[in-house]
Structure 1
Amino acid sequence: MTVISTQFDTESEQFHLDSQAMLDALEPLQTLSAQVLAAGGDKSVERHRARGKLLARERVDLLLDEDAPFLELSCYAGAHDSSEQPGGRLITGIGPIQGVECMVIANQSTVKGGSLNPDAVAKQLRALDIAERNRLPVVTIIESGGADLPQQADIFVPGGRTFRELTRLTAAGIPTISLVFGSSTAGGAYMPGMSQYTVLVKQAASVYLGGPPLVKMAINEDIDDESLGGAEMHARVSGLADYLAEDERDALRLGRQIVADLQWTKAGPGPTLPADPPAYDPEELLACAAADAKRSVEVREILARVLDGSRFNEFKPLYGTQLVTGWGSIAGFPVGILANNGILFSDEANKGAHFIQLANARNIPLVFVQNITGFMVGSAAERGGIIKDGAKLINAVSNSAVPHLTLMIGASYGAGNYAMSGRAYDPRFVFSWPNHRIAVMGGPQLGGVMSIIRRSAADRAGVPYSDTEDARVRRETEEMIDSQSGAIYATGRIWDDGVIDPRDTRAVLGLALSATHSAPVRGTDHFATFRL
């Protein structure tokens, strides 16, 4: 394969301006990270430790193999809501346990008692979806007060799907393991109840559908926590507990032993190509997005700093040049690349659809690198068939069966988001850079379109149109779109699986690709009818 050559001038003023702009974009994430790691604040942490309990992250660390990488997911869930601590009151991510890549879900009981709000429900469902599609065993560390009752109207219906997904995982032959460290009440009691393996911590775990106060109100029975749903009762009487742990560390040891006993092996192929590092410094990825969003960037510069050995065998390099396609590898896993170098025309759409079919024929995962303002508009594009050609690309993306990984490095607007395997098209993973913007269209464009529509409506009605009022509404529209299209807003709503430091791109994609290969990697030759 050809090694990508770089055109970067690392001494140029533009290089330093772009690097600094990305560092500035990373600063809000550092603030959010500190809030997530605070885990509810000093008082909550001290109270938790005073009970002799480990923090959620300490439990995860002890569960995972020593010094193992952990691909944390949706870690800024809820960040769009200033009334909530970011993180969704849960930790979710993928890491090895006894050498087996597992999905780990851990309640953060130091944050509102680990009670589940809408963000927590959405985050947990996303984790279970990733586990099912990538055939990852699920280990859940439970200590939760159940649903956050003041928000029950937004939790009850979607929250019920959590239990459904657990049983679907088991039915699909994917192991589910619950380690109960504290409260698991009401609907939350079904988490261990619907898992294949359960471990309860002695004198700490309590699992019941209704606690002592509810039992008193419902049937006038006086009973304490331990007698009603304690670990020993469930181990000796009800049979809910498969293993009775002496303490938290013993529970984590038992969880690791259960995973080891699964004898779980990957169903997909392992890495087959050399996983040597890129030829260029990954620090230079900081300058691979333009400080001014209106300035185009060369996507091959990103590929040169992410692909193994910076090797890339480009496909159709002289045709549809604003969509870069070709073959390479990341962490030794062969991949097909579709990367935007500009707006999509008919040639780019046809090229992309063709390439997706080839990747499916070869059973090779696809990595989409999004920096797209959409498809071309105008009379020439419409007469040239942009709708039917764009539909071919969206058809190919929709019906492709190989794993898709999507990396958003800049704009993601309109149908361009769909054509490049946005979240609505079920890629296995979606990651974003902090400069990422996502919306139907950019703020100035949307404000201008709405202005034209309002002015036309006023002309038809024969009423005066105020330019001053129009300017005010356009400004407010642009501000609204700006506030709702940024990377933090999007990741807070779990529209991606995480905003990442550009310098971590290769490591993150490598871990995600490894996870996808826990499941079989098979393409398809079945696509919807292409309009030719």
Structure 2
Amino acid sequence: MNFAPSWNPQSALALQRREAMLARIQALRALEQRSADKSAEARPVFDKRGQLLPRERVGLLLDPGEPYLPLCSLAGYLQDTREAESSVPGGGMIAGIGFVRGVRCMVVASDSGIDAGAIQAMGLDKILRVQELALQNRLPFIHLVESAGANLMRYRVEGFVQGGALFRNLARLSAAGIPVITVQHGSGTAGGAYMPGLSDVVIMVRGRSRAFLAGPPLLKAATGEVATEEELGGAEMHSAVSGLGEYLAEDDRHALGIAREVVARTGGAQPRPKLESDPNKEDLLTLMPSNLREPVDMREVMVRLVDDGSLLEFKPLYGAATVCAQGSIAGHAVGFISNNGPIDVPGANKATHFIQWMCQLGQPIVYLQNTTGYMVGKESEQAGMIKHGSKMIQAVTNATVPQFTIQCGASFGAGNYGMCGRGYAPRFLFSWPSARTAVMGGEQAARTMQIVSEAALARKGVLPDAVQAKAQFDKIVNVFESQADAFYTSGLLLDDGVIDPRDTRAVLAFCLDTVAEAETKSVRPMQFGVARM
């Protein structure tokens, strides 16, 4: 059964929702710009040294005019400080998937305009995530390095220990036959020196690149030996003496040009289709309400994402609050699963059936999250909601096709799990600015705790204090609501980025292309990665 859209994007309600969504998008862009502006404050220093700013380096590396998918741009937001006005997102890293000489690559750059590129806590998590994506999708990993290493003023032992995974992943990428290419724009000290050390090819910049296990201050403190930075780890020394560098560049531009040539020689360029224009993308601004209690027909979202608006709904009359449908995005056949209400027993069974059907067909699954969770209540429990919901979670967990998740609206309770939330490792997961994620709604959580507290007091024969109860209620609501916000959860890397709803079709097409290309790409795994010689 093909779905015929009925939503009027010009209605008063639609226009109201559009304005609210645009306000959120504007706030998102302001946060992203805050990172760029903070980094650009270092321009006088970079100009004096004859260097390019980190974003300029990324821009010169990438093919002009080709698509680029930034990743985790809000990493660390509200984690370094709880003050929304001063928190700088990004995790001190720039990361995304783009094209270099026609080759789809994962590109990561130290944002050395901020704290000299020192690795931030969420910056570590960010680079680990994009390394995982590079490994899953067989993407050459290009690292533009200029980092002060760990911030010793904010030292935490767990960051040191967990940071070892960064270097482990470089070795895994190389061993999997995936090129690892480093441009050493500046310093790499201690653990940072292993970034070039575990790369297949290293490009160094004369007079700027440094790589040493111990810089002059630590060397003198540890052994009493006195040496210059150039003697210990300069670009010319590593290119001519130690052999750590394969190529010696004269400046940043020259280094990036060499990197582009190295990538071109990997032979990884592949033809790819162009995405057709999307005439319905503006409608996507009008669909999601600010108040997630208002109903939304998620089929209206689906039909605006697929090719030619052609959508085949699966079992439309059974478990109708759970929507399953088939369509195509940029020529890729996909299955959609979404929610027009809580997931009930028929809905869970339908989704389980549909996931297995997609696995049999070999078609990726796109989850459009908008769920308050699994149905609760006596009737639902007696109908076996736990076991039927568990079957759906089993199917999501063990699906044999790539899965993609877009968090559009509510993502509450176990519905987050059954709809392939972060814990279920979808290949890519993005959020709309309207998304909210929590174990339950704030008022629901506060009301639950109020009932429990009042029952405990009643057993003691004590009457509740109305003022204290109201303060406790408001506090719980505030905690849940502040943490449910899409910008906050993205700051924790619970998604791969917050996107403009109008970009959803393009983002999904890009990700589907990436996965399809990975499945056809020929790599030559080895027992070990390429060793430095």
The residue aligned with 2:115 is 112
In the TM superposition, 1:374-453 aligns within 5 A as 374-453=373-452
Q: How does 1:12-51 map to 2 (within 5 A)?
A: 12-42=11-41, 44-51=42-49
1:450-479 Cα distance to aligned partner (Å, 9 max, x none): 011111111222222223321221111101
Helix, strand or coil for the counterpart of 1:410? strand
Cross-structure match for 2:280: 281
- Per the alignment, in what secondary structure is the counterpart of residue 517 of structure 1? helix
Deviation readout 1:470-518 (Å, 9 max, x if unpaired): 1221111101111111011001111111111111111111112222223
Match of 1:179 in 2: 183
In structure 1, C-alpha distance between the alignment counterparts of 2:291 and 2:376, rounded to whole Å: 23
Q: SS in structure 1 opposite 2:444?
A: helix
Secondary structure of 2:357's counterpart equals helix
**How far does residue 184 in structure 1 lie from its aligned partner after superposition?**
0.8
Distance 1:265 1:376 in 2: 48
The farther-off stretch of 280-289 and 106-115 is 280-289
Question: 1:57 — aligned with what?
Answer: 55
- Report the CA distance shift for 1:29/1:187 in structure 2 as closer, same or farther (over 3 A): same
CA contact (8 A) 1:276 1:309 kept: no
Q: Tell me the residue number matched to 2:493.
A: 494
Which residue does the alignment assign to 2:195?
191
91, 96, 100: which one aligns with 1:93: 96
Does structure 1 residue 144 correspond to structure 2 residue 147? Answer: yes
Letter in 1 for 2:73: C
> How large is the Cα RMSD of the aligned pairs?
1.8
How many percent of aligned residue pairs carry the same amino acid? 43
**Cα displacement string for residues 132-186 of structure 1 (whole angstroms, at most 9, x for unaligned residues):** 1111110000001001112221521221110011111111111111110110111
Partner of 2:527: none
TM-score norm. by structure 2 comes to: 0.93
CA distance in 2, matches of 1:72, 1:260: 22
Alignment of 1:179-328 (within 5 A): 179-264=183-268, 276-277=276-277, 280-328=279-327
In the TM superposition, what is the alpha-carbon distance from 1:211 to its structure 2 partner? Answer: 0.5
Aligned match of 2:530: none
Instruction: Output the CA distance in 1 between the equivalents of 2:423 and 2:373.
Output: 16
Deviation at 1:6, TM superposition (A): 2.1
Residue type matched to 1:320 in 2? G
Q: Contact 1:103–1:139 (CA<8 Å) still a contact in 2?
A: yes
| Conserved? CA contact 2:71–2:96, under 8 Å | yes
Query: So what's the TM-score if we normalise by structure 1?
Result: 0.94
Q: Which deviates more from structure 2 when the two are superposed, residues 30-39 or residues 282-291?
A: 30-39
Paired letter, 2:144: I
Q: 2:64 aligns with which of 63, 66, 76?
A: 66
Contact 1:289 1:297 (8 Å CA) reproduced = yes
Which residue is 2:167 aligned to?
163
State how far apart, in whole Å, the 2-side matches of 1:243 and 1:310 are.
51
Q: 1:48 aligns to what SS in structure 2?
A: helix
Q: Distance in 2 between matches of 1:474 and 1:394?
A: 32
Q: Contact between 2:106 and 2:140, CA under 8 Å: does it hold in 1?
A: yes
Partners in 2 of 1:239 and 1:304 — Cα distance? 56
Separation in structure 2 between the aligned mates of residue 239 and residue 26 of structure 1, nearest angstrom:
48
Aligned to 2:137: 134
Query: Aligned partners of 2:403, 2:153: CA distance in 1, in Å?
Result: 38
Moved more, 355-364 or 103-112: 355-364
1:374 alignment partner, SS class: coil
Which position in structure 1 is the counterpart of 2:471?
A: 472
What SS does the aligned partner of 2:368 have? Answer: strand
The answer to whether the Cα contact below 8 Å between 2:275 and 2:506 also exists between their aligned partners in 1 is: no
Q: 1:334 is aligned with what amino acid?
A: A
- Report the residue type matching 1:79 in the other structure: Y
Which amino acid letter does the alignment assign opposite residue 56 of structure 1? P
**Distance (Å, rounded) in 1 between the aligned partners of 2:15 and 2:290:** 10
- Cα contact 2:210–2:229 (8 A) shared by 1: yes
Q: Offset at 1:37?
A: 1.7
- Code of the residue aligned with 1:76 in structure 2: it is L
State the distance in 2 between where 1:141 and 1:34 align. Answer: 21
Higher mean alpha-carbon deviation, 350-359 vs 414-423, is at 350-359
Rounded Cα–Cα distance in structure 2 between residues aligned with 1:355 and 1:260:
41
- Distance in 2 (CA, whole Å) between partners of 1:226 and 1:275 is 49
- Name stretches of at least 5 consecutive residues in structure 1 with no aligned partner: 522-532
Partners of 2:205 and 2:368 lie apart in 1 by: 45
Query: Quick check: 474-483 or 145-154, which moved more?
Result: 145-154
The answer for unaligned runs of 5 or more in structure 2 is 521-533
> Partners of 2:464 and 2:93 in 1: how far apart?
51
Q: Specify the alignment match of 1:524 in structure 2.
A: none
Q: Is contact 1:234–1:240 with CA below 8 Å preserved after alignment?
A: yes
How far, CA to CA, are the matches of 1:40 and 1:234 in structure 2? 29
Give the counterpart letter for 2:64 in structure 1.
Answer: E
Q: Deviations over 1:326-362 (max 9, x none)?
A: 2111122221111111110011111111111111112
Q: C-alpha separation between the residues in 2 aligned to 1:230 and 1:11? A: 62
Is the Cα–Cα contact under 8 Å of residues 265 and 518 in structure 1 kept in the other structure? no
Task: Say which is worse superposed, 412-421 or 479-488, in terms of deviation.
Answer: 479-488
Tell me the secondary structure at the aligned position of residue 30 of structure 1: helix
State how far apart, in whole Å, the 2-side matches of 1:314 and 1:193 are.
52
1:66, 1:13 → 2: CA distance?
Answer: 40
Q: Distance in 1 between matches of 2:361 and 2:275?
A: 20
Name 2:531's counterpart in structure 1.
none
d(CA) in 1 for partners of 2:10 and 2:216?
69
Deviation string for 1:263-308 (max 9, x for gaps)? 1267xx977xx96555x52111111102322111111111122111
* Residue 342 (str. 1) matches residue 335 (str. 2): no
Q: Distance in 2 between matches of 1:100 and 1:41?
A: 29
Where 1:232 maps in the other structure, the secondary structure is: helix
